[in-house]
Amino acid sequence: MKLVVVGLGQCGGRIADQFAWLNMKARGERRFDLISSIIAVNTDMADLSGLKHIKPDKKHRILIGAQKSGGHGVGKINELGAQVAREDADVVLEAMTASQQFPEADAFLLIAGAAGGTGSGSIPVLTQVLKERFPQKPVYDLIVLPFRSEELTEKRVVYNVATCLKSAYLVADAVLLVDNQNYYRGNSPINRALFDINKAVVEPFYNLLSAGEEKISDFVGGKTLDAGDIIQTLSGWAVLGHGQAEVPRHCFFKRRDFRTEAIENHPGMLALERSVSGLSLRCNPEDAKKGLYLISAPAAEMSMELFKEVGARLRSLAPDAIIRSGDYPRQKGAVEVTIILAELLRLDKLTDYFKRAIEFIYTTQRGQENIDQKHREFGDLFGEIPSLI
C-alpha cells in the first residue's frame, strides 16, 4: 500500500519526518517505496526547519498562514489553524500532486497532534478538501493525543483535543488514535523521548505497507495482505499494535515433533500479546467491529499452525469483528505481528475528553459550573462539541 503522507503542525511534521525515514529504509532494504509523496505543513517556520528527512524545499515544507501568524504559529488556537488551512488549502494540494508518483498512491494519511493549534485545526479542514477533490482515495487521519501533563497544565488543550477529534471523525474514512502517554518510558531527555515515541508510532506501518508492495517472489506471502484489505478494515475510530518475539534457535531444526511445534508457535503468540498490550490507545478489543493481523516471520517458520493460533487468539479477543489476515515472509530470526482494530464502538478516553471539553465550554463561555454529566451517552456528548468544519 502506498500513501501520500502529510504532517500538520509540530507533532504531525515530526511523525511525517519519521515516515520519510521509513521510506528511505524500505528503499534501501526492500527496493521499493511506501510513500509516493510526503510533505510537512506548519504555521511555524522554526518547526519546519527542525525536520531532518523531509526534503527542505518549499514543495515539501510548506509554511501557511504567514500573514496571520508571522511564521510563529497560531498559539494553540485551533480555530485559527482551521482558518489558515482553509485559506491555503490549494497550496498544500498543489504540493501533494506535484510528485510523479502521486497517481500510484492508494490513500492519504494526514497526521497531527490534537492538543495544539495548527495540526489540531488544519487536519479536519484538509481532510474535507481531499475528500471533495479525490473521492476515489480514502483519507485517514492519524491523531496523537497529548501527555497527561499537557492536559493538566492548560484546560484549552482538552478543548482542542475534543474539537479536533469530532471534526476529523465527521470527514475522515478512519481516525487512527495514538496516545502519547502509552509510549512514554522513564525520564529520558524530552527530545530523545519524543523521537522514540514517534519512531514507535511509525514502526507498525513498515510491514503493513510493505506486504502488498513486495516485488521478490520469495517474499510474497501465501496469503498476501494488500491495500484492499487495509481499506476494507480501516473505518471509524481505529488503533494499531505491533509486537515482536525472537525465534529460538531450535525452531529451525528440520525434525518437527509435537514439542518442536509447540515451541515454534510460542513466539507468534508472544508477539501477538505484545501487539495487543502495546496498542496505540488502550481499549477493549471486544468493542471492535473490524480487525486485521499480519504475521511476518522467516519463511520456513510460517506454518499454518502458527497462522491458525494467532487468528484464533485475536478472534477470542474481538469476537464480533470481521477479521482479515495475511503473512509476509520477510523477517529474520523473529516473528512480528501487526494488528489493526477498527470501528471501535466505545472508547472511555474519548468520552472523558468530551465531558471535560463541555465543562470547559460551559464554565468559560457560559459562566455555568457543576455540570452533571455522569450518565450522559457518548453520542450526546459528541453532539455538544463544536466542529471546526
Instruction: Specify the DSSP element, H or E, that contains 202.
Output: helix 190-202
Measuring CA to CA, which residue among 69, 122, 117, 70 is closest to residue 91?
122
For residue range 283-341, what is the model confidence (pLDDT) as tens digits?
999 999 999 999 999 888 788 888 889 999 999 999 999 999 999 998 788 999 999 99
Q: How many CA atoms lie within 13 A of 93 on its CB side?
A: 16
CATH code at 238-342: 3.30.1330.20
Residue 235 has pLDDT above 50, yes or no: yes
Amino acid at 125: V
Task: Average the pLDDT over each of 128-137, 213-222, 253-262 and give the range with the smallest value.
Answer: 253-262
- Place 256 in a pLDDT band, splitting at 50, 70 and 90: low
Please, where are the H alpha helices in 98-189? 118-133, 148-153, 155-171, 180-183
Q: Percent of the chain scored above 90 by pLDDT?
A: 72
- Place 381 in a pLDDT band, splitting at 50, 70 and 90: confident
Predicted TM-score (pTM) of this structure: 0.93
Residue 249 has pLDDT above 70, yes or no: no
CA angle 159, 74, 19 (to 5 degrees): 85
The CATH superfamily of 3-202 is Tubulin/FtsZ, GTPase domain (3.40.50.1440)
- Residues 215-221: contacts with CB under 8 Å, at least 24 apart: 215/31, 215/32, 216/31, 218/299, 218/329, 219/299, 219/328, 219/329, 219/330, 221/302, 221/326, 221/327, 221/328, 221/329
What CA–CA distance (Å, rounded) separates 112 from 110? 7
> For the chain, where do the domains classified as CATH 3.30.1330.20 start and end?
238-342
Q: How many CA atoms lie within 13 A of 339 on its CB side?
A: 33
What CA–CA distance (Å, rounded) separates 350 from 165? 8
Residue 264 has pLDDT above 60, yes or no: no
Task: Average the pLDDT over each of 36-40, 61-65, 225-229, 359-363 and give the range with the smallest value.
Answer: 359-363
CA angle 57, 63, 66 (to 5 degrees): 140
Tell me, what's the pLDDT at 372?
59
Tell me, what's the pLDDT at 373?
60
**List of E strands, the chain:** 3-8, 35-42, 61-63, 107-113, 139-145, 174-179, 236-246, 290-296, 322-328, 334-342
Tell me, what's the pLDDT at 189?
79
The three three-digit cell numbers of residue 254, written as one number: 528440520
> For the chain, where do the domains classified as CATH 3.40.50.1440 start and end?
3-202
- Exposure letters 124-152 (e unless 16+ CB within 10 A, then b): bbbbbbbbeebeebbbbbbbbbbbeebbe
Write down the mean pLDDT value for the chain. 90
Residue 368 has pLDDT above 50, yes or no: yes
Mutual angle of helices 190-202 and 9-29, in 10-degree steps:
60
Residue 36 has pLDDT above 90, yes or no: yes
For residue range 105-122, what is the model confidence (pLDDT) as tens digits?
999 999 999 999 999 999
| DSSP per-residue letters across 270-294 | HHHHHHHHT-SS---GGG-SEEEEE
